[in-house]
Structure 1
Amino acid sequence: MKIRRTVLACSLAAISAQALADGDKLEVVTVTAQKRKEDPSKVAMSISAISGASLQAQQVSDFTDLTRAVPNISFTAATGNGGAGPGTSNIEIRGISSAAGQSTVGIYLGDVSLTVGNLYTMGTVEPKFFDIDRVEVLRGPQATLYGASSMGGTIKFVPNEPDLKEREITAYAEASSTKGGSANFSTNVVGNFPLVSDELALRIGAQAQRTGGFIDQVDGDGNVVANNINKINDQELRVALKWAATRDLTITPSLYYQRVDAKDIAAFNLERPPYQAQKQVREPSIDKLLTPNLAVNWDLGGADLTSSTSYFQRKFDRTQNGSAYNSYSLSTFLTSTDDGGKAPPELIDAIAGLPSAVYLNNAVRQISQEFRLASKPYSAGGSPVTWLAGYYFSNQHTNLNENDPIFGVNATFEKFGFSSADPNLLPDSYPGAFPNDNSFAGEFHYREKQNSIFGEVNYYFAPTLHGTIGARYLKGKSTLTQRNSLYLAGAGNNSSSSLSSHAFTPKYAVTWEVSPEHTVYSSVAKGFRLGGSNVFVPPTTCGPDLEANGLTSGPPTYASDSLWSYEVGSKSRFMGGRVSVNADAFYVKWKNIQQGVYLPTCAYSYNANAGDATSKGFEFDVKAKPMAGLTLSAAGGYVKAELSNDEGIANGVVGAVKGAQVQGVPKYNSTITAQYNFSTASGHSAFVMGGVQWVGPSKGSLNPEQTDYDRPAYHTVNFSTGISIDRYQLTAFIKNAFDEDKVIQHPQVASIVQGYRVAPRSIGMSVAAKF
């Protein structure tokens, strides 16, 4: 009996020691970067994986926060898209930045591709961080497994799956106040319900949030017209059903829906006092996202079959303030009586001062299907070959409708005794040029079809050394049917254009596990973007600009572009898993870049292939648990992205000369965080956390004459502390604690210089509960 007690005591001691040791180890977030569940330290690419719990603890709540927390990701919030509003940003990775043409970063929600082109009315789709298991940031081209547009990398939002065993309900509520602005709140509830134990489970969740504004609208005299205009309300719903039909077959239908209602953009006028926007027309938007998906996973014994059938729909309706360019552009077509024309100066000034709106109704819908067949993971003594093969199809339709009324334009002409249809007053005018004061009407229908086959093969020369060869062959066709009418469209246009593209995108990698704790790798991969069609450029109003670029009309299409990326890296763990160090260096050669050519006289633009670039740099990620309860982490990156020839400027891209810094790319970013977990005197778990994020200087434009040419470096500081009491966790936090208020982007829209800054300091509390 004594012997049994001794053995039991030793066993319990060993279990306790192991639990303590495991608690001292760093968290390992499993990833699916290569379409399999893997330890990221064994994957031959640079990956940042952040768990949903860490996102919440670090107050990472949107894309802009993510770009400050992860190395070598950046965003441009105010471009030709018209301002710093949700759904208008462009995301860049490793200096592969282009606000024109197709996207350079792939966006995925689970297995659903949400990647859309950089159309002038829309930016990157921004899923909310709701019921997320983790976010994976895959740096470097991912064309082999993720297709076109994943040139700089891919960002994957991986949702939580239904649990077949445990019933659980979680609830979360947060409230905070923004300095100089209005209140913020967020609340959500998620339930996991096993309907048939080990066979059928339902997961359902809902969220509602309000982000308070801090920009005030003022009139020309500085009087406040409306407070905190850049408020945002959003709602999310997620439903997933997991059915283990057999031991080997799992079927998971799911649906995600979100609605983002922005009352205005977060830009202000730099000529006004801080956080004041002088505008005649407000700029609200409503962005709706719907993504149903049917996932099937079937274990065939020797291989695993995965099918993902997806539908993606985005409806994005927004208003831009067109007063600075529609009204002003129209006024420039009038010749003053002082210069021998017919228009009195007072009429020209009155037209230039009229309010104008740009009403944009955007809709994207896509059907996609992917099949993948993958071998079982490698095991020592088994086959030295593992493989994955797949087929992908997508059909994406994008409809854009634009109307640009200049309010009161007909009445203003009549007030001065003229008709807007008088060609002697307004060149090339005609009856009905401004019906209901509308100056431009455009209808654009884009269609993009893709078919591709892809695969990867791994050969294990030894259990610790393997090589990877992968490739994707893609065929795509894009078409654009458009109709442009009314005065600012020139003579009008009804046309269509199409372009077929194809690409072969290989990948080569070598991975060597020097020891169980140390892995080194190298890779060479190709990235690719499809070409596309251009919006019509009216030669009647844009003739001088086109002639300056050696053209008589705007080019109907632009071609694909591509790059080669070369990377070496290492991933190591020390001290029994209590320290991890990941580092890599990369070099990218980018050819035939899709760039936007802006025509200053008529305010139109088109896309062209103009010039090459190189991007080189490094990233690192260090985490450590030097003592019980304390976790330290530091991550950062440096990138030097420059044009490598003068072809851009020769094609009309102002400032696109050899050595020019690629726009929108900070030279560096880094973050340091520290978290200490401890037990209070009453035995409750508690923590304190602090973090600093630095973002380096960048160029907002290739043109040195633009106001957004030089963007400054900036930093933010966040703190939080919390305590767990039974099933509840209470947290208090300060975001942007020292109220960093630099203007980090300042583009010029016509004659107005806009400013965009980090959201002011906010202080708040949250409560989370599990039942």
Structure 2
Amino acid sequence: MRGFWASGGLLLAALPAPSIAQATTAAPPAASATPPPKAGPPEPAPFGEIVVTATRTEQSISKVPISISAFNQQALDLKGAKTLADVARFTPGLQFDNGSNQIAIRGISSNAGAGTTGIYIDDTPIQIRNLGFDSDDTLPAIFDLDRVEVLRGPQGTLFGAGSEGGTVRYITPQPGLDQYTSYSRAEVSSTAHGGMSWEVGSAIGGPIVDDKLGFRISAYHRHDSGWIDKTDYDGNVLDKNTNYANVTVIRGALTWAPAENFKITPSVQYQQRLTADDDFYVEGQSDPGRGVFKDSSPEYRRNPDHFVLPALKLDWKADAFEVVSNSSYFKRRNVSGYDGTVYDLSYYQTLDGRLPDANGDTPPLLTAKGIDPSVDYYLSPSVVTNKQRIFTQEVRIQSTNPGAPITWVAGIFYQDQHQLSREELVDPKGNQLFEQLFGMSLEDYFGAAADNDGPLPLYDGRDSYINQSKSREKQIAGFADVTWHITPTLSVTGGGRFEKVTYSFVNFADGPQNYGRTDASGHTSSTPFLPKANISWQIDRDDLLYGTYSRGFRPGGANAPVPYDACSDDFDGLGIKGAPSSYKSDTVDSFEVGTKNKLFDRKLSIEASAFTIQWKGIQQFVTLPECAIMYIDNLGKARARGFDIQLTGSPLPGVTLDMAMGYTDSRYTKTAQYESPTSILAVKGDSLGGAPWTVSLGAQYDFPAFGERGYARVDYQYASRSKRTKEMDPNAIASYDPGIVSSDATHFVGLRAGALVGGMNISLFVDNLLDSAPLLDRTHQGIDTLLYTDRTWRPRTVGLTASYRM
């Protein structure tokens, strides 16, 4: 696998009561709410309860003995959440990298190998394996959802491989058989230093034949403006706001009930997302404090990403049990890439044999402002194509009487996943550049450098490097989860999942930068057992204590070959003979204790948990610094410890306060290295990265306004400065870059104020009120260059939202 040289019309839901602001509860639908008296502020409604399916059966969230956050569509709208990045700001223990779509839950995250977080749309897992380079998970849009659930801690028993840190679930509304419902939303906004954004979407569902046949359809489109300008080397703007994005979602579902207790629900969801350019700007040309964001690269790093998900659900209920079958086929194509032009130049700048210029100098190819103007016009975009095809079949049978002394769920799971990853450096001007720099063609230079007796494959002027892998992964599993209610208040749960996973791949790599063609194939298999044990004590209707042990797992895989001729010096430095042909699975073991309470006549809701997680045999990238190629190996051990707490309260009539706080300390407990003393990749005590502290605070006031219901809300989120990761450790000799620094501590403030008029909710909002531009990510384009690119938040955005709910 090739490494990156550097590393790197309507609106808001009709919201009835202030309790909608809380992270884990929601007020009843607006249609059932009674308007408050107009003479004074409305009385706060009792805390509502979101019903979740985290245990594969429906339960009120306050009765589920695991750490979970859930947001229904009304709460998501009130908080202005349109993506998982927005949800993460309100969720303790969850961190999201908007640059790579990387999800970390309780510090467990890795961009190497199989995914560490399960991502589900209903009952279909859609997470991707990092087969090659830039294999990012898709990012479902948030519109017309029943809820988003975030399950913290490994969920291997019920959700299988990949749910090591936890699971994120997008749950869609089902067709109604007895009443019509609808939801519509529209928005328009303006971004400081950028342009106009807008969205429109609508959903409707209900019976076609009462109690027999129902439907639900929805359509949604959103345009997010850009705010970064393309410039030349001198900073002159060539193209404004190039990092805009569009997303379109269409979904349809039917439910047919041929018998009283039997439902058949086919559905299909389509999403198309296009990001016209990424959010990185050149540090040497920009001034974030003044709202100046410029990118001098000649590349537009477009990222089209679309998927289609047809599914079929069968649900049959008997007197004492229910049988549920889910069949689905997920098909996705994503084209992304890094800045191949800058990557190539940062690499070529390190090569020997440069010709002097007219002054007898060899100036750098890259400066702090971009590509040195003495270099002839050069463009070598990277094109990274990732495809997924996943067939999933799950059948489970579960008890339906929650009052029975024993409740249970059991099932079988099958998945067949095909994946393709192709990385190309499209280099039509490669020979022209090499004639200028070295006085010979690109092919001749690398042929001589490789000391290759035979001729290299003919360079056709397209790809100076190509690496393509195709893989197939098959999983079959049986699982069970049984709860014995020893007394009406004391319960114990035992569960387990036995899996067999097989993985195979074929690969080829070619091009002058690869020193010729290589071919390979490989396969691995594993048969893990994932146990779970839980004890819970429902002290009374308002107080729950629990403790849980669980194990998570992700399967191993195989590496594409690393050309020895290109990387022999790196292998010698690491003290190894070459890259391993495969890597093993890794596992986590988690211990958690938690409590859920309602206090002061149910005016205060508390959910809290503490955890410790042990991570063994971590799959991670090993970067070979000289040849700029990386592979995956199992190196090091780590542990994560911390806690999370969520509070929601109503101290005064019309006032709702909420807080979500998380602390995670994740670090290596064993040095990751080969036998060579200079091969250290991470030192015992090094952090796994991420912000240790996250805090979200919210306050809402509901009041009568001109005969209607008004509300005003403020939200504040804080994340502490990120810990230095292993790639930033001076002891990590093979990959240390002093130019890479940790991200800043962040402070995000949002405001929203509006009125409820019948089923309509109209509101004004401000996101990023302080117009804050913290450093979220810094990329060094080659250790030997002065060129840095940074990423930050979208600047202050002011807008108007209108929604209607029936």
1:82-137 deviations in Å (ceiling 9; x for gaps): xx2xxx32100001121211111100011111121234222222111011111111
Structure 2 counterpart of 1:662, from 683, 688, 692? 688
CA drift at 1:653: 6.9
Deviation digits for residues 449-490 of structure 1 (CA, Å, limit 9, x no counterpart): 101100011111101101000000011011110111111122
Give yes or no for the alignment of 1:680 onto 2:701.
no
Structure-2 separation of matches of 1:621 and 1:675: 16
1:478-531 CA distance string (max 9 Å, x none): 111011111112232111011101200100000101111100000111111110
Q: Distance in 2 between matches of 1:505 and 1:524?
A: 11
Partner of 1:95: 107
Distance 1:164 1:749, change over 3 A: farther
Q: Report the residue type matching 2:651 in the other structure.
A: P
Equivalent residue, structure 1, for 2:764? 732
Aligned to 2:778: 746
Match of 1:533 among 558, 579, 593: 558
Answer with 535-544 or 199-208: which moved more: 535-544
* Runs (5+) with no aligned partner, structure 2: 1-31, 288-292, 366-371, 730-735
- In terms of mean alpha carbon deviation, does 314-323 or 476-485 score higher? 314-323
Asked if structure 2 preserves the Cα contact closer than 8 Å seen for 1:178 and 1:214, the reply is: yes
- In the other structure, the counterpart of 2:604 is 579
Deviation at 1:555, TM superposition (A): 1.2
Report the AA paired with residue 683 of structure 2: V
Partner secondary structure for residue 666 of structure 1: coil
- Tell me if the contact between 2:574 and 2:679 (Cα under 8 Å) persists in the aligned partners: no
Do 1:25 and 1:625's aligned partners in 2 also have CA atoms closer than 8 Å?
A: no
SS state at 1:320 partner:
coil
Cα distance in 1 for residues equivalent to 2:383 and 2:34: 65
- SS of the aligned residue for 2:776 comes to strand
Once the two structures are TM-superposed, the CA of residue 334 in structure 1 deviates from its matched residue by 4.4
Distance, in Å, in 2 between the alignment partners of 1:16 and 1:40 is 22
- TM-score between the two structures when normalised by the length of structure 1: 0.92
Checking the alignment, whether the CA contact within 8 Å between 1:649 and 1:657 is kept in structure 2 is no
Find the aligned partners of 2:354 and 2:670 in 1 and give their Cα distance. 43
Query: SS of 1:656's equivalent?
Result: coil
The partner residue of 2:223 within 206, 210, 223 is: 210
Instruction: Flag the structure with more relative contact order, 1 or 2, with Cα contacts below 8 A and sequence separation at least 6.
Output: 2
Contact 1:151 1:529 in 2 (8 A): yes
Per-residue Cα deviation, 1:403-441 (whole angstroms, up to 9, x for no partner) = 212231223445686344436855447354421242012
What residue is the counterpart of 1:761 in the other structure? 796
Identity %: 29
Deviation at 1:206, TM superposition (A): 0.4
Q: Identify the residue that residue 298 of structure 2 maps to in structure 1.
A: 280
Which residue in the other structure is 1:10 paired with? none
- Whole-Å Cα distance in 1 between the matches of residues 63 and 761 of structure 2? 34
- 8 Å Cα contact 1:323/1:353 also seen in 2: no
User: 1:323 matched to which residue of 2?
Assistant: 341
Question: Judging changes above 3 Å, is the alpha-carbon distance between structure 1 residues 346 and 398 closer, same or farther for their aligned structure 2 residues?
Answer: same
Superposed displacement of residue 366, structure 1: 0.3
Distance 1:75 1:648 in 2: 28
1:323 counterpart SS class: helix
User: How many pairs were matched up?
Assistant: 739
1:388 corresponds to 2:409: yes
Corresponding residue number in structure 1 for 2:431: 410
Q: 1:278-317 alignment to 2 at 5 Å?
A: 278-317=296-335
| Rounded Cα–Cα distance in structure 2 between residues aligned with 1:181 and 1:696 | 27
The equivalent of 2:46 in structure 1 is: 25
User: How far apart in 1 are the matches of 2:568 and 2:160?
Assistant: 38
Q: Mark the CA change 1:767 to 1:337 in structure 2 (over 3 Å): closer, same or farther.
A: closer
Q: 2: CA distance between counterparts of 1:769 and 1:516?
A: 35
Q: Residues 105 and 352 from structure 1, CA distance in 2 versus in 1: closer, same or farther, beyond 3 angstroms?
A: farther
Say which is worse superposed, 348-357 or 472-481, in terms of deviation.
Answer: 348-357
Matches within 5 A, 1:371-520: 371-379=395-403, 382=404, 384-413=405-434, 418-422=440-444, 426-428=449-451, 430=455, 432-520=457-545
Structure 2 residue 616 is the aligned partner of structure 1 residue 591: yes
**Match of 1:647, SS?**
coil
Cα root mean square deviation, aligned = 2.5
Report the secondary structure of 2:54's partner residue.
coil
Mapped partners of 2:138, 2:679: distance in 1: 27
Corresponding position of 1:254: 267
Residue 16 of structure 1 deviates from its aligned partner by 12
Cα 1:749/1:73, change in 2 over 3 Å: farther
Q: TM-score, normalised by structure 2?
A: 0.88
SS at match of 1:548: helix
3-state SS in 2 of match to 1:325: helix
**Equivalents in 1 of 2:86, 2:116: separation in Å?**
19
In 2: Cα distance, 1:681 partner to 1:497 partner: 70
Distance 2:521 2:198 in 1: 47
SS of corresponding position for 1:462: coil
Counterpart of 2:461 in 1: which secondary structure?
helix
Q: Residues 190 and 203 of structure 1 are in contact (CA less than 8 Å); yes or no, is this contact kept in structure 2?
A: yes
Contact (CA 8 Å) 2:355, 2:439: kept in 1 or not?
A: no
Specify whether residues 347 and 629 from structure 1 end up closer, same or farther in structure 2 by C-alpha distance, changes over 3 A only.
closer
* Equivalent of 2:149 in 122, 136, 139: 136
Amino acid at match of 2:743: R
Of 543-552 and 602-611, the range deviating more from structure 2: 543-552
Secondary structure of 1:64's aligned partner: helix
Mapped contact 1:76–1:91 kept (Cα < 8 A)? yes
> Can you give the 5+ residue segments of structure 1 that lack an aligned partner in the other structure?
1-14, 78-83
Change (3 A) 1:420 1:479: same
